[in-house]
Amino acid sequence: MLRMRNPIQHYAWGSREVLARIQGRPVPSPEPEAELWVGAHPSAPSVVHLDGRERPLDELLAEEPGRFLRDAAAGDGLPCLMKILAIDAPLSIQVHPSPEQAAEGFAREERAGIPLGDPRRNYKDRSAKPETVVALTDLELLTGVQPAGRLDAVAQRLRLGWLREALAAGGPVLPAVLGLPDDDAAAAVEATVAAARAAGAEDPVARLIRYVADRHPGDRGLLVAVCMHHLRLAPGQSVHTPAGQLHAYLSGAAVEVMSSSDNVLRAGLTGKHVDVPEVLRVLSEEQPPPEVLDPPAAADGSRRYPLWDERLALVAHEAAPGRTVPFEVRGTAMLLAATGRVRVRAAGRTWELGGGDSLLHTGGPTAVELSGDGRLFTVLCG
């Protein structure tokens, strides 16, 4: 077991309260804090305490892969990245490529000579980016695209001419919406916001429109948001976002596990590059709402969340005063205290973890005892 220190990403949609409260720091924080990263992504790797020194985890993996990785010979690095998300405004509407699309897109942009740091670059690496999220608080998100019948009801109720016209074309609605000329899109956004402000306070789509418009005024991504499924997760519930699925988080806090990739194609609610033809190329034809998982607790109180690879898993343990929770961890694993304060005892040592603190485990099976008062997430990486 090695202690890790984890970086925070300061994106504009982040909260000034959530991560500060989790870590016991003054509230509000000086700037928005959107994501706490636990892993070896080169953009913001965790720092590992090893032999009296602090070392970035990506450097350790490059220097001693056999010590830390399940299959060092494969050369793929750590297979996942874990985050705490603190969402105070809608994230960009986005989609991630499949492994084949990522490899082809990366090679295409390399041949075109687009630098990795160029804002027009879509593919930063050759990897897919499947994601699984577990709600820590009530969590709102957009995902997939509603069927035509439901969209027609929205168009009629709010008198959205642009949506009626997109549906009347008879094909998939997203290409029609994303393909609107800029002037037409701006007029559609203005009319949609006006309709939402005139609608009843309880109309769910009108509430969504007002929420998004207040945080991304004038962004044509609002039209895409109207077309999407709107989900609410209770704490402990989870959804998986596969390749090709349109999605955006709206509000709340969550633990997210994804492959260690930075391939994001955006469709709106962002000031960053939006490549509509590439978004449409990557989108899956079917855009249903995902299955909401709410796994039952095992005898020890743990809840297990499947990930995109059967060799990976995410396990949540609850520690409560007056009881000790035993479990086993093996191989490469990352243990993250997401809330409260917990004690992890293993191999004769004890680690005190506050919110946002984490440990890296390597090697064979290790018996662990968890105590304290908080929630510990363990991602088993192999």
| Per-residue pLDDT at 134 | 98
Q: Is 266 noted as a catalytic residue in this protein?
A: yes
| Per-residue pLDDT at 201 | 87
Beta-carbon count within 10 A of 16 CB = 15
**C-beta of residue 358 within 8 angstroms of C-beta of residue 337:** yes
**Under-50 pLDDT residues of the chain:** 73-74
Q: Cβ-count burial of 164 within 10 angstroms (0-12 exposed, 13-18 middle, 19+ buried)?
A: middle
- Max alpha carbon distance in the chain (Å)? 68
Q: Is 247 annotated as a binding residue?
A: yes
Q: Is 94 annotated as a binding residue?
A: yes
| Per-residue pLDDT at 70 | 67
**C-alpha distances in angstroms, 335 versus 48, 57, 293, 357?**
13, 15, 21, 8
Hey, what amino acid is at 158? Answer: L
**C-beta of residue 109 within 8 angstroms of C-beta of residue 121:** yes
Q: Residue 351: which H helix or E strand, with range? A: strand 349-354
Choose the catalytic residue: 21, 25, 120, 266: 266
Q: Is 202 annotated as a binding residue?
A: no
Residues 6+ apart with CB under 8 A from 271: none
Q: In the structure encoding, which two tokens stand for residue 135, read together?
A: 């709600």
Domains and CATH numbers, the chain: 146-227 (no CATH), 303-380 (2.60.120.10)
**C-beta of residue 96 within 8 angstroms of C-beta of residue 264:** yes
pTM of the model: 0.94
Q: Is 96 annotated as a binding residue?
A: yes
Catalogue the long-range contacts made by 161-169 (C-beta closer than 8 Å, 24 or more residues apart).
Answer: 161/188, 161/191, 162/188, 162/191, 162/192, 162/223, 163/223, 163/226, 163/227
Q: What's the rounded Cα separation, in Å, for the pair 182 and 164?
A: 18
| Per-residue pLDDT at 52 | 87
